[in-house]
Structure 1
Amino acid sequence: MHAPDETQAPDDGRPVVLDRRTGPYGEVVLRRSGELLQIIANGCFLMDTSDGRSERLLVRAALDALPVRPGPRLLLGGLGVGFSLAEAAREPRWGRITVVEREEAVVEWHRSGPLAPFTAEARADARTELVHADLLEHLRATRDRYDALCLDIDNGPDWTVTDGNRSLYSPTGLAACRARLTPGGVLAVWSARHSPAFEELLRNNGFSRVRTEETPVARGVPDVVHFAMRPA
C-alpha cells in the first residue's frame, strides 16, 4: 500500500510525513524534520541524514581490515539513507559494489524521491548494483563471493525492529554470511549499541579477529560496528 501524506510543515514544527508504505515487513515511513530526512520502520526510528559517521566507518574500516587484493568486492546489506553506499563509491579501491535492500519504498525514495540526491553519484557509478531482495535470501541464492559484507539492516543484534531480521544474527545467519565471504574476507555489522553476546556468537561460529569500534553520537550510547574475519 502507498499512502502519501501532505508535505506542508505544520505550524508547531512537528516532523512531516512525506511517504508511508505498508508492505510484507510492516510499515515504513519517510518524514522530514527540519532539514533532516528520517526513516521510521514499524513505529521505530531507524536512521536520518544528520551524521553518518558510523555508517561510513562501516565501509572504511572493513576495507582497511582486508588483506591487500585487487578490486575487492563489497556487499552492502541495507541502503538506508545512503551514507554507506556513498562512502563506498568514493573509494576507487573497491571493485564491485552490490547493495541489497528489501524495502521497495527505500529503493524508490533513492531512485526518484527525496533521498535521490544522497546517492545519485554512487548509483550512477558503473561498479554499483542495487538489488531489491531480502538480505538472507540473497546470500542463500547467490553464487557470488564477496571480500567484505557490511550490514546495516536494523538497529543491531540486540534490538531488531522486525522479527525476521533476528535470523541474521543467529548461527544460521552467520553461516550464510561466512559462506559468501572469500577467505580472509571481512564481516562488518552496524549496531545501535555494543553487544558482547554477539561478539561471542561471532567467535563461536567460525569468525576470527572479532573487535568492535565505537562512534560517539550527540545523545545516548555510542553507535558501534562489530568486525570479524573469515579465516584464510
Structure 2
Amino acid sequence: MSTSYDTPVVLDRREGPYGEVVLRRHGELLQIIANGCFLMDTSDGRSERLLVDAALDALGDRSRPHILIGGLGVGFSLAHAAADPRPGRITVAEREHAIIDWHLGGPLSGLSAAALADPRTSILETDLVTHVYETSATYDALCLDIDNGPGWTVTDGNESLYSPDGLAACARALTPGGVLAVWSAQPSPEFEETLRNAGFQQVRTDEIPVARGVPDVVHLAVRPG
C-alpha cells in the first residue's frame, strides 16, 4: 500500500524529560514537532542563516569569536556558521537527545555532517535556558532559536529566558560588546523594550519576508562594552 505524498510519515517519536519530540517526513521535507507544536522544517533556512549572519556582522572585526547556538534544530544555523571562516569556536546547546541522534548518522545528518565534523564545533546536551543561567563560560554571540518567539514558547520553562532576569543572564554569558540574536516567528515591540530596559544597546529587529503571513524576524541587541 503506497503512502500519499501529502501525508506526513513519522520517522521517529521519543518521550524525553521535556515531553514528546517527533521527526516526520512530509514529501521532501523533514519536520520537528515538540509536544504537538511545529518547531521547524527543512523547507528554507533563510531566517536561521540570518540569525548567524546578523550576529557575526554585528561583531564587526572581532577576531575568531566564540558563538553559542541554541538549539540544534534541523541544523541550518550550525551548518551556516561552520561554512563561515569567521567563528573561532561554535558551541551548540541542544536539550533533546533525540535531535542530536537524528543528526549523528540519522535522517538529519545530510544537513549537518560537515559542520559536526568541523573541529571548531562542539555539542552540549543541555537545556539552553539552564546553561545561560548557570554557565561560567562567556561567548561573543548568543544565537538563540529554541522557541517560536518570546511570546510563543515551546515549554513553559523557556519563558524566563525572555524576562529581565533571563536577559540579565544572557548579558552575563556575553563578553563586553557581545551580541544577542533571538529568532522569532513574528515581530515583538514588547521584547525590544524589554531588551532596552535590560541594558542592551543597538536593539533592532531584522525581518525575513515569508510567502504568507507576518515575517520571521531576528531580534538583535548588544551588551555594552
TM bracket (short chain): over 0.9
Residue 92 of structure 1, CA deviation: 0.7
Cα distance per residue 1:8-44 (max 9 Å; x no partner): 9623731000011111111111000000000011111
- Residue 41 (structure 1) aligned to one of 20, 30, 34: 34
User: What is the deviation of 1:173?
Assistant: 1.0
Asked whether 1:125 is paired with 2:85, we answer: no
| Partner SS state of residue 77, structure 2 | helix
Match 2:167 to one of 164, 169, 174: 174
- The aligned counterpart of 1:160 is 153
Q: Which stretch has the larger CA shift, 168-177 or 189-198?
A: 168-177
Residue 194 in structure 1 maps to residue 194 in structure 2: no
Aligned-partner Cα distance in 2 for 1:140–1:201 = 18
What is the rounded CA distance, in whole Å, between the counterparts of 1:176 and 1:24 in structure 2? 23
Aligned 1:1-232 pairs, distance under 5 A: 10-11=3-4, 13-232=6-225
Unaligned stretches of 5+ residues in structure 1 = 1-7
Unpaired segments ≥5 residues, structure 2: none
**TM-score, normalised via structure 2 length:** 0.97
After superposition, the CA RMSD in angstroms is: 1.2
Give the distance between the partners of 2:219 and 2:156, measured in 1 at CA: 21
| SS of alignment partner, residue 61 of structure 1 | helix
CA distance in structure 2 between the partners assigned to 1:23 and 1:196 by the alignment: 34
Report the alpha carbon displacement of residue 217 of structure 1 after superposing the two structures with TM: 1.2
AA partner of residue 71 (structure 2) = G
In 2, Cα distance between the equivalents of 1:9 and 1:196? 48
SS in 2 for 1:112: coil
SS in 1 for 2:211: coil
Alpha-carbon distance, 1:219 to partner: 2.0
CA contact (8 A) 2:76 2:111 kept: yes
- Displacement of 1:67 in angstroms is 3.5
Q: Relative to structure 2, which stretch is displaced further, 13-22 or 114-123? A: 13-22
Question: Are the counterparts in 2 of residues 9 and 15 from structure 1 also a CA contact under 8 Å?
Answer: no
